[in-house]
Amino acid sequence: MSAGADDRRRQNLLKIASAAVFLAVIAVAVLIVVSASENDGGDAESIEGAGEVNRRLGGIPQDGMVLGDPSARVKLVEFGDLKCPVCASYAEEVIPAVIDSQVRTGRARIEFRNYTIIDEQSGPAGAAAIAAGEQGRGWNFVEIFYRNQGNEAAAYVTDEFLTAVADAAGVKDIARWQRDRQSPKATDAVASSTAAAEELGFTGTPSFAVEGPATDGLEPFEAYESPVEQLEEAIAGAK
């Protein structure tokens, strides 16, 4: 190759490399700026989805954090963290189908237990749900919280946000709920269910276990690949 052609080749390669570096710097800067300016969610001023959640759960008995006919022989237990985005996806895309096919029909009841893994706000959020459960609105609280969940890294779980969720969930006695959510009973329940989840060998949320006549106590199972079918199969297998 001639000296001139070699120079051109060298200049072209350097131009491509320089352009690539420039574009990479711009792309990273844009990603970081967009990420930093994303809405943190968890807006107490605009709680959404309460109507749909309350309609869906309407008419189904609730006792504490258990949803469904108390005489149902099979109990499905969801171990979740209210700040976990995957749990929120399940709440919108998986759990409603299971409630319709299994809980509303009396085949099973479903219990929400806290397994707090995200951060220090997960505990107070879980205790607030338990306090709502004391007034028969635990599942409404959990489902509405998930539909208004903020960025998992944001500190959006404020007293104001929790109160707005409780109000939207239909908790009647907010003053009692405020006391209950800070009581040792609620905070201890969050800690003990988290410890129980770890004893069952869970490492993430949501995790599921089932209990029924055909099981030896609470039996964990996986529901990641086709969760609705796997949850329904586990319930059928526990009868």
Partner 1 sequence: MVATFLAALGVGVATYIAIADSGGSAPACIGGSGGCQTVAESSYSHVLGVNIAIFGAIAYLLLLAAAWGRGDLARMGGFIVALGGFGYSVYLTYLELWVIDAICQWCVASAILMTLLFAVNAVRMVRYVGEPA
Binding residues for partner 1, per CB under 8 A?
1, 5-6, 9-10, 13-14, 16-17, 20-21, 24-25, 27-28, 31-32, 35-36, 84-86, 117-119, 151-153, 203-205, 222, 224
CA distance 50 to 206: 22
Shortest CB 34 distance to partner 1, Å: 10
122 and 83 Cβ atoms separated by less than 8 Å? yes
Measure CA 171 to chain center. 20
Measured from the CB atom, is 103 or 210 closer to partner 1? 210
Measure CA 82 to chain center. 5
Q: In this structure, what DSSP letter does residue 220 have?
A: E
Shortest CB 153 distance to partner 1, Å: 5
Shortest CB 201 distance to partner 1, Å: 10
Shortest CB 81 distance to partner 1, Å: 8
Shortest CB 8 distance to partner 1, Å: 10
121 and 82 Cβ atoms separated by less than 8 Å? no
Measured from the CB atom, is 103 or 118 closer to partner 1? 118
CA distance 97 to 93: 8
82 and 122 Cβ atoms separated by less than 8 Å? yes
Measured from the CB atom, is 117 or 164 closer to partner 1? 117
Return the structure tokens found at 170: 């239909």
Shortest CB 74 distance to partner 1, Å: 22
Measured from the CB atom, is 28 or 214 closer to partner 1? 28
Three-state secondary structure of 36-74: HHCCCCCCCCCCCCHHHHHHHHCCCCEECCEECCCCCCE
Measured from the CB atom, is 54 or 230 closer to partner 1? 230
201: left (phi over 0), alpha (psi -120 to 50) or beta: left
Measured from the CB atom, is 68 or 126 closer to partner 1? 126
